[in-house]
Amino acid sequence: MILEKIVNQKISRLMSEKQRMPLDFYKEVIREGREKRDFRSALKSGDKISIIAEVKKASPSRGIIKEDFDPEEIGRIYEMSDVQAISVLTERDFFQGDKSYIPTVKTVTSKPILRKDFIVDEYQVYEAKALGADAILLIVACLSDDQLSELTDTAKSLDLDILTEVHDEQELERALKTESNIIGINNRNLKTFEIDIRNTERLISYIPEGIVTVSESGISSREDMVFLENLGIDAVLIGETLMRADSIPGKVLELRGSI
């Protein structure tokens, strides 16, 4: 199972990273203060559906997505585009991401930054804050209830927003117990990597009012955007569609229905 493989590799990598860069180092960096941009508010910034645009080089299911990958340039493009937040993929072994992309992108944009990774340890939460992330992704499918609760509490204590990701009713029930105020519905099954955008339609009715909702994966057209807008979704997270586009600004305009 690919998810289990990714998590096991992440745990193994964390062991060496903790030796190289102790947690106390990141705690000291955080004490110096870090600018906070309000990720949640950005997703509720107007009447239209918000876009979280992703900086993403590769994936285990698709391989290399963007050959001429330059995170700084992509950040500059997103800054000038009609997107409300930026997701930076930092997982190295399967997605060819890097944690250094967070400060790189943050220096060229005024928009809030989400660290997208497989976060399984509080070390990664402190690291995200120290690197300049404004929010983190917590994937319910790869966390126990205790882990989910502990990581949520740590993130809140560091004033990080949390996008809590679910794929089915059981995961949603677990997420709601954490009192998460941003729920991401992943249209991709992380066990099979199959995508069905109607997974958002299936789960949104179970999410209480007042919680910001994000649809993730499989959004590639204006029709998809309209479908999700009509469901009442607050935001969409789009990666591969933008990374494969000949023109990122042009694709954003197309998704917005402006061309």
Q: Is 217 a catalytic residue?
A: yes
- Name the residue with tokens 């029930």: 173
Residue 54 is a catalytic residue: yes
Of 50, 180, 186, 199, catalytic: 186
123-161: pLDDT as tens digits? 999 999 999 999 999 999 999 999 999 999 999 999 999
186 in catalytic set: yes
pLDDT band at 62 (very low <50, low <70, confident <90, very high): confident
The backbone torsions φ and ψ at residue 248, rounded to the nearest 5 degrees and listed phi first, read: -65, -50
pLDDT for 193 equals: 75
- Residue 47 pLDDT class (50, 70, 90 cuts): confident
CA distance from start to end of the chain = 41
Residue 17 has which token pair?
Answer: 């990273």
Q: At 190, is the pLDDT very low, low, confident or very high (cuts 50, 70, 90)?
A: confident
Least Cα distance to 52 among 189, 129, 161 occurs for 161
pLDDT band at residue 117 under the 50/70/90 scheme: very high
Q: Which of 6-20, 31-45, 60-74, 158-172 has the lowest mean pLDDT?
A: 31-45
- Exactly one of 56, 66, 99, 129 is catalytic; which is it? 56
Task: Specify whether the CB–CB gap between 81 and 249 falls below 8 A.
Answer: yes
The yes-or-no verdict on residue 259 having pLDDT over 80 is no
Q: Which of 216, 220, 240, 251 does the annotation list as catalytic?
A: 216
Q: Catalytic annotation on 116?
A: yes
> Quick one: which H or E segment has residue 51?
strand 50-55
Q: Pick the catalytic residue from 10, 106, 116, 129.
A: 116
Determine which one of 217, 220, 240, 251 is catalytic: 217
99 is catalytic: no
pLDDT(251) > 80: yes
Catalytic pick among 50, 57, 106, 165: 165
- Nearby residues of 128 by Cβ (< 8 Å), 6 or more positions away: 102, 115, 117, 119, 136, 160
What pLDDT is attached to residue 2? 83
Residue 32 pLDDT class (50, 70, 90 cuts): confident
To the query of whether residue 50 is one of the catalytic residues in this protein, the response is no
Tell me the mean pLDDT in the region 113-125: 98
- Least confident range of 30-34, 68-72, 194-198: 30-34
